[in-house]
Chains A and B, each alone.
Chain A
Amino acid sequence: MRSIAVAIFAVALAAPSAADEQQIHLKKAPGLDKVEANCTACHSLDYVLTNSPFLNATQWDGEVTKMINAFGAPIDAADAKVIGDYLKANYGR
């Protein structure tokens, strides 16, 4: 049993998926596509849920800026604005 399971596991390692992560649903609203396309490159979206709803607009902008400037997220200015607006509107204080 163990050897079979290990063999299956080895296959699984080579083919990452995101079954659990895909169960995270952020609010459907304008900008969600940009959030999904950019933020999930580095982290699951539960970070947005758990950090809500207590950040104000300035703080959410600060988080987006931090991801770009401190963590090197390759997000262009137009997308950054859409992402910030989405977070403020849907997960802001």
Chain B
Amino acid sequence: MITRRTVLGAAGVTLAGAGWRIVNPATAEAANIELSPALSAGTRAAAVLDALPGKKPLIKLSYRPPNYETPIEHLGTAITPNDAFFVRYHLADIPEVDGKTWKLSVGGEGADRAAELTLDDLKAIPAFEVTAVCQCSGNRRGLFQPHVAGVQWGPGAMGCARWKGARLKDVLDKVGLKKDAIEIVFDGADRGAVDKTPDFVKSIPVWKAVEETTLVAYEMNGEPLPHFNGFPARIIVPGWTATYWMKHVTSIRPALKSFDGFWMKSAYRIPLGKFPVVARFVSQETSANTPITEMVVNSLITSHADGAAVKAGSKVTVGGIAWDGGYGIRSVEVSSDGGKTWSTASLGEDLGRFAFRPWRFEVAVTGPGRQVIVARATNQIGQTQTSELIQNPAGYHHNLDSSISLMAS
């Protein structure tokens, strides 16, 4: 397992940015960072900026397993750099996978035969690229009021990258998918620290698995996947939350019945009927709840921090990004008066329906005093962010209208 503490503890070596550097452990302590007052007091006190090997300093929420959030300064563009991309693990035993010896096992009861692919085998399958948002189901969980237990994410448990790999359906063709297969089950190389901890295993419905854009990816923004983002290969499920994007994938198993592991049946579930989602995972639904599926439409203001100082009477460009579950962003509206009146923002570069869509809007600063800026995105099927947070037990799908205060003087 690679960790920064491992490195510092033994030798005072760490990775910074693109290259290696030797640091004095005494000066390498994580830096404090000011976080939203909407987060729990404990989170604001405990979270620090800390650099994992190969990563820029990110907001450390937990060391082990590593859960590191992308600071907002890296989220203003359509593509999120690999070294600033968030890190999320459930289990603490994370092996460093050797791409030369890594093997992907494909097969199971829902397949006609079995196959074992090396990384070269995977790369020999025609490659496909998709630019897609990878967002943790619990992104912004820490902003729920009242707070709910779990990793206390602010807005940065997400990123958008250009993913390259083999189509999952082409990988499945190697083993022959049986007609009555209903789910595809993924396992990765990470494990719990104790044997009894349920292994992190996930499934998706066959209809989603065979979409043209669902990949077994080995490149991220033109580079091999970083270790902490799933080297050497991970599943890419554009439009769906990151829980299905299995990192360090080691097995792909077509199944004839609903997979009943803990991470499907007990975790990552949302109440039925509460969220405006189209994509259903019928084989996993109960009368009460359903696995989380596609992301809900959302936006983030990245140009200004909440409480940013601006000049009274000036004009400032407020901007950010918008995204959804793959229908594409139709518009972003901005209010400069706390939600009373709305105007349409300009949309920036379009990297496809699964990508972050940058937007910007010129705000006339009134003031002096506090001015509340609100942004809300609408997607191509007419869904809009919520003006009232939709409560749910695990704190998923936070897509409240995005809002900041500007302080004019």
Binding site for B on A (CB under 8 A): 1-2, 5-6, 8-9, 11-13, 15-21, 23-24, 41-44, 46-55, 59, 63, 70-74, 91
Contact = CB atoms under 8 A, between A and B. Distances in A.
Interface residues of B, number: 50
Interface in B4-46: 4-11, 13, 19-20, 22, 25, 29-30, 40-43, 45-46
Contacts of B402: none
B251 to A, nearest CB: 21
15 contacts: A5-B22, A8-B10, A12-B11, A20-B30, A20-B50, A24-B46, A41-B193, A42-B197, A43-B92, A46-B62, A50-B47, A51-B152, A70-B198, A71-B197, A72-B194
Contacts of A47: 62, 151
A9 B5 contact: no
A15 B22 CA distance: 18
A51 B62 contact: no
Given A19-B25, A23-B29, A51-B152, A72 B8 contact: no
Given A12-B13, A13-B96, A46 B6 contact: no
Contacts of B19: 2
Interface in B124-157: 142, 146-147, 149-152
B6 A16 contact: yes
B149 to A, nearest CB: 5
B194 A42 contact: yes
Nearest to B47: A50
Given A21-B63, A52-B42, A54-B146, 5 more contacts: A1-B20, A42-B92, A42-B194, A71-B192, A72-B195
A12 B65 CA distance: 18
Contacts of B45: 49
A11 B9 CA distance: 11
Contacts of B62: 43-44, 46-47, 50
Contacts of B195: 72
A17 B197 contact: no
A59 B146 CA distance: 13
Nearest to A5: B20
B42 A11 contact: no
B61 A46 contact: yes
A44 to B, nearest CB: 4
A13 B152 contact: no
B149 A55 contact: yes
B214 to A, nearest CB: 29
Contacts of B280: none
Contacts of B61: 46, 50
B180 to A, nearest CB: 31
Contacts of B5: 17-21
Contacts of B9: 12, 15-19
B196 interface: yes
A20 B4 contact: yes
A53 B6 contact: no
Nearest to B8: A19
Nearest to B42: A52
B3 interface: yes
B40 A74 contact: no
Given A17-B5, A50-B43, A71-B192, A11 B11 contact: yes
